[in-house]
A and B are shown apart, each in its own frame.
Chain A
Amino acid sequence: ETGVTQTPRHLVMGMTNKKSLKCEQHLGHNAMYWYKQSAKKPLELMFVYSLEERVENNSVPSRFSPECPNSSHLFLHLHTLQPEDSALYLCASSQDWAPVPGFSTDTQYFGPGTRLTVL
């Protein structure tokens, strides 16, 4: 798990708090992803960044705000969350070949996740 790291591993926050999740990849990849994993629900893709540009925003509420300052780092800023936002948040990275977007066979590698509890 040293390829993709996530901090913190556990986070408990109130509905009025503001917090941030951090993801860092050490694999030299140029695409990064945020997923939400809730109990008894399929893995939900939230955001995708390719070459530091957001290429997918999967109808995620505005209380989740991603930031990708460079190809190695990805943040998820959280504010005024709801209890139903409690979940495991997973970060992943892969190589997305440009200038042919999407024509990549490379694998997504995942971090260990941040277990978020919203009280």
Chain B
Amino acid sequence: AQSVAQPEDQVNVAEGNPLTVKCTYSVSGNPYLFWYVQYPNRGLQFLLKYITGDNLVKGSYGFEAEFNKSQTSFHLKKPSALVSDSALYFCAVRDRWGNAGNMLTFGGGTRLMVKP
């Protein structure tokens, strides 16, 4: 079985400061990892994914994430936060040898609050 943990319900950061949203995962094989963002009353928007290769993945809106196999983590980062980054962030994982349907398991979400 696969699982994802986002240990922080909320992360507060000042505008212009770096931000990190944490994610750890568990899969039986090699993982595919994803980050999504959700703005109020909207669906989930894809930010970035790790499939293979370079452990540092760059995505939309200046976000990046680092895959760390030994720590089974995939933390989301941004060097300089914007107020407009305030939203709900979801980490998701699937086992590379998953079942039909490309099914993901999502974490519980982390609310990012960026204050001016």
Mark A residues whose CB is within 8 Å of B: 1, 4, 6, 31, 33, 41-43, 45, 48-50, 55-56, 90, 92, 94-96, 101-113, 115
CA distance A103 to B51 in the complex (A): 12
With A4-B43, A90-B44, A102-B99 known to touch, is A108 a contact of B104 (CB < 8 Å)?
A: yes
Residue pair A1, B101 in contact (C-beta under 8 Å)? no
Residue pair A112, B103 in contact (C-beta under 8 Å)? no
Residue pair A103, B49 in contact (C-beta under 8 Å)? no
Residue pair A102, B43 in contact (C-beta under 8 Å)? no
List 12 A-B residue pairs with CB atoms under 8 Å apart, sorted by A's residue number: A1-B42, A4-B43, A33-B101, A42-B106, A90-B44, A102-B98, A102-B100, A105-B51, A106-B102, A108-B102, A110-B36, A112-B42
Q: Is the interface of B mostly helix, strand, loop or mixed?
A: loop
Q: Which 9 interchain pairs have the tightest Cβ spacing?
A: A101-B100, A48-B101, A110-B43, A102-B98, A110-B44, A43-B106, A55-B101, A50-B101, A112-B43
B42: chain A residues within 8 A (beta carbon): 1, 112-113
CA distance A45 to B90 in the complex (A): 14
A107: chain B residues within 8 A (beta carbon): 34, 46, 49
CA distance A53 to B97 in the complex (A): 20
Residue of B43, B102, B104 contacting most chain A CB atoms (<10 Å):
B102
Residue B70 interfacial (CB < 8 Å): no
A90: chain B residues within 8 A (beta carbon): 43-44
CA distance A103 to B32 in the complex (A): 11
B34: chain A residues within 8 A (beta carbon): 107-108
B106: chain A residues within 8 A (beta carbon): 42-43
